[in-house]
């Protein structure tokens, strides 16, 4: 263990040294090959040779840029002028996960002049199957730093800024003001509402993607024609609040952590987020962008379809002519849910109805009659479970399934312990039973504090954490 700790510390120091050297290299390169389109000038090298051979090169793009980005410059939709715009653009990618990684890869590859990556989290082994900028060796380091390091290996001619922080109402407006476009690559409702309000208050477009299970969605909020050379200068697309004026109930919101996701699904949506960003930057108008419409992708049958969204709401609380919202809010309170799923720690049962992992292990050794009720989904239960547990998924605890559970509890002569992954759903299930079961059975009902994560930490180190 000492060798592992020593090597991890040495690697962190080397990473920081490498990051500083790469920044130094970028500044040196910038002196010789400025990136901003207003400052790009004709290369002096080989000019005489080009003139002798009657070769004309761009007055705006340097030779390295023409060679590097030639395949997309050849497209009439992009051309030299479009590449110039890309090299002068600044894009903020919020979330370095399943959506943000592929989006950032293609933005960097396209030569977007500056990319900011915001993520407070660290790389976990469960991320790697879909978050393509991270590798096994990046575990336990900042996702923002890991993503930036990978992107520098793709394109060292662009500016990359990692923000190893949580974007919140106290810093979101200031950070985003340095950019032209925001990519919402997050996975929670409070942050979506916050980024929408940031988009409206800072008057910048928001390219919003989401992915869950085998499905993905993509659209653009806060589009303004005046910034995209559109003939209809007054046109403004709907914002997120125009389409979803009130947050959904917490129990209706899924997550990759709880519900799963096939890796290629966020890969597809993140890639298309980058494409929409490129099209937006080069000046394509709303007719060619996902403005006022949402792309729906179903990985099960490999289908894409566009659905029309509600138009801009003239009475929207933030983007109307008379807005009620003029500053950022406490979005966790407004949405009644946390932005950090990992911080979720419910405490809705009294102490007498809870049991620690160590005490549960002792109880299981002392008697064979203990009833363990695992309320995770069926696929989770199949992945791993404690021997002897029975599976009653929380989402099915109603009607006949709930009656069957109540009868099993009443028929059990010993203690009943509810189990889930982190100790939250199990409390909900236990409370649902305690609310209806007769008093004579209540004292034997328990919930495993900390869930299977605690079981793995304190009892069985071989039990998988996911």
pLDDT for residue 40: 32
pLDDT for residue 281: 97
3-state SS, 88-119, equals: HCEEEEECCCCCHHHHHHHHHHHCCCEEEEEC
Q: Is the pLDDT of residue 342 over 70?
A: no
Summarised one tens digit per residue, pLDDT across range 269-294 is 999 999 999 999 999 999 999 999 99
Least Cα distance to 244 among 130, 374, 335 occurs for: 335
C-alpha to C-alpha distances, 68 to 71, 75, 358, 374, nearest whole angstrom:
8, 14, 60, 55
**Residue for token pair 């109805």:** 353
**Positive or negative torsion for Cα 125, 129, 133, 137:** positive
Whether residue 48 is contained in a domain is answered as no
Whether residue 242 is contained in a domain is answered as yes
Same domain for 423 and 280 = no
**Alpha carbon distance 290, 225 (integer Å):** 13
Q: Is the pLDDT of residue 27 over 80?
A: no
CATH assignment of the domain containing 190: 3.40.50.720
pLDDT for residue 344: 56
**Residue for token pair 């469960």:** 126
Domain that holds residue 367: 346-458
pTM over 0.85: no
**Residue for token pair 């010789």:** 32
pLDDT for residue 32: 65
| Residue 256 known to be catalytic | yes
Q: Judging by DSSP bridges, how do beta strands 215-221 and 293-298 pair with one another?
A: antiparallel
Query: Count of CB atoms within 10 A of residue 421's CB?
Result: 22
Q: Is 264 exposed, middle or buried (0-12, 13-18, 19+ CB in 10 A)?
A: middle
Of the two residues 172 and 14, the one the predictor is more confident about is 172
Q: Is the pLDDT of residue 394 over 90?
A: yes
Summarised one tens digit per residue, pLDDT across range 413-443 is 889 999 999 999 999 999 999 999 999 999 9
Least Cα distance to 100 among 270, 231, 235 occurs for: 270
Identify the weakest region by mean pLDDT among 59-63, 396-400, 423-427. 59-63
Summarised one tens digit per residue, pLDDT across range 64-123 is 999 999 999 999 999 999 999 999 999 999 999 999 999 999 999 999 999 999 999 999
Whether residue 37 is contained in a domain is answered as no
Confidence label for 22 from pLDDT (cuts 50, 70 and 90): confident
Q: What 8-state DSSP symbol labels residue 252?
A: G
Polymer length in residues for the chain: 466
How far is it between the farthest Cα atoms of the chain?
99
Mean residue pLDDT across the chain: 90
Q: Which of 256, 316, 319, 335 is catalytic?
A: 256
Same domain for 296 and 189 = yes
Least Cα distance to 224 among 312, 294, 295, 308 occurs for: 312
Q: Is the pLDDT of residue 7 over 90?
A: no
Same domain for 311 and 282 = yes
Domain end position, chosen among 342, 366, 394: 342
Same domain for 434 and 285 = no
Q: How far apart are the first and last CA of the chain?
A: 23
Same domain for 309 and 441 = no
Q: Is the pLDDT of residue 229 over 70?
A: no
Q: What 8-state DSSP symbol labels residue 336?
A: T
Domain end position, chosen among 342, 360, 388: 342
Same domain for 445 and 329 = no
Same domain for 259 and 129 = yes
Same domain for 408 and 325 = no
Q: Is the pLDDT of residue 250 over 90?
A: no
| Residue 420 known to be catalytic | yes
pLDDT for residue 30: 65
Same domain for 216 and 338 = yes
Q: Which of 239, 319, 335, 420 is catalytic?
A: 420
**Residue for token pair 């959506």:** 99
Locate 415 and state its tokens: 């203690």
Q: Is the pLDDT of residue 189 over 80?
A: yes
pLDDT for residue 45: 31
Locate 296 and state its tokens: 């729906």
Same domain for 390 and 353 = yes
Same domain for 391 and 307 = no
What percentage of the chain carries pLDDT values higher than 70?
Answer: 91
User: String of b and e for 391-417 (b: at least 16 CB within 10 Å)?
Assistant: bbbbeebeeeebeebbeebeeeeebbb
**Alpha carbon distance 234, 224 (integer Å):** 8
Q: Judging by DSSP bridges, how do beta strands 303-308 and 354-355 pair with one another?
A: unpaired
What is the number of domains present in the chain?
Answer: 2
Q: What 8-state DSSP symbol labels residue 40?
A: -
Cα–chain-centroid distance for residue 445?
Answer: 37
Summarised one tens digit per residue, pLDDT across range 129-166 is 999 999 999 999 999 999 999 999 999 999 999 999 99
Q: What contacts 104, CB < 8 A, 6 or more positions away?
A: 93, 96, 115, 117, 133, 147, 151, 274
Whether residue 75 is contained in a domain is answered as no
pLDDT for residue 230: 63
Whether residue 398 is contained in a domain is answered as yes
Same domain for 310 and 206 = yes
């Amino acid at each position: 263990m000492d060798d592992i700790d020593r090597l991890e510390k040495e690697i962190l120091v080397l990473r920081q040294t490498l990051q500083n050297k790469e920044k130094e290299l970028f500044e040196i390169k910038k002196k010789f090959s400025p990136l901003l389109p207003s400052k790009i000038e004709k290369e002096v090298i080989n000019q005489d040779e080009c003139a002798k051979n009657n070769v004309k090169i761009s007055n705006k793009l340097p030779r390295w840029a023409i060679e590097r980005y030639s395949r997309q410059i050849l497209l009439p939709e992009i051309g030299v002028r479009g590449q110039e715009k890309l090299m002068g653009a600044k894009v903020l990618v919020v979330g370095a996960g399943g959506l943000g990684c592929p989006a950032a890869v293609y933005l960097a590859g396209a030569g977007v002049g500056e990319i900011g990556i915001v993520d407070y989290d660290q790389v976990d082994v469960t991320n790697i199957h879909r978050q393509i900028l991270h590798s096994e060796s990046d575990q336990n380091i900042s996702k923002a730093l890991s993503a930036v390091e990978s992107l520098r290996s793709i394109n060292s001619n662009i500016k990359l800024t990692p923000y190893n922080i949580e974007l919140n109402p106290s810093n979101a407006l200031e950070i985003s003001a340095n950019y032209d476009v925001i990519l919402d690559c997050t996975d929670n409702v409070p942050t979506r509402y916050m980024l929408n309000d940031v988009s409206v208050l800072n008057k910048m477009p928001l390219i919003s993607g989401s992915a869950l299970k085998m499905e993905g969605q993509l659209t653009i909020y806060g589009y303004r024609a005046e910034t995209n050379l559109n003939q209809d200068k007054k046109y403004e697309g709907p914002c997120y609040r125009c389409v979803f004026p009130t947050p959904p109930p917490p129990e209706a919101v899924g997550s990759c952590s709880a519900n799963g996701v096939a890796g290629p699904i966020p890969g597809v949506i993140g890639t298309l987020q980058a494409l929409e960003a490129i099209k937006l930057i080069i000046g394509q108008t709303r007719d060619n962008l996902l403005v006022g419409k949402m792309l729906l992708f179903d990985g099960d049958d490999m289908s894409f379809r566009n659905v029309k969204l509600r138009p801009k709401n003239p009475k929207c609380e933030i983007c109307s002519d008379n807005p009620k919202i003029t500053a950022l809010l406490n979005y966790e309170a407004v949405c009644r849910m946390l932005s950090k799923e990992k911080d979720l720690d419910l405490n809705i049962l009294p102490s007498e109805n809870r049991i620690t992992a160590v005490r549960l292990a002792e109880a299981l050794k002392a008697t064979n009659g203990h009833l363990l009720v695992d309320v995770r989904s069926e696929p989770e239960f199949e992945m791993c479970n404690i021997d002897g547990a029975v599976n009653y998924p929380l989402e099915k605890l109603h009607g006949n399934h709930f009656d069957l559970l109540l009868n099993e509890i009443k028929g059990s002569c010993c203690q009943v312990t509810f189990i889930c992954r982190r100790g939250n759903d199990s409390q909900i299930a236990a409370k649902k039973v305690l609310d209806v079961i007769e008093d004579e059975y209540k004292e034997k009902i328990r919930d495993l504090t900390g869930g299977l994560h605690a079981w793995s930490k304190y009892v069985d180190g071989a039990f998988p954490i996911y």
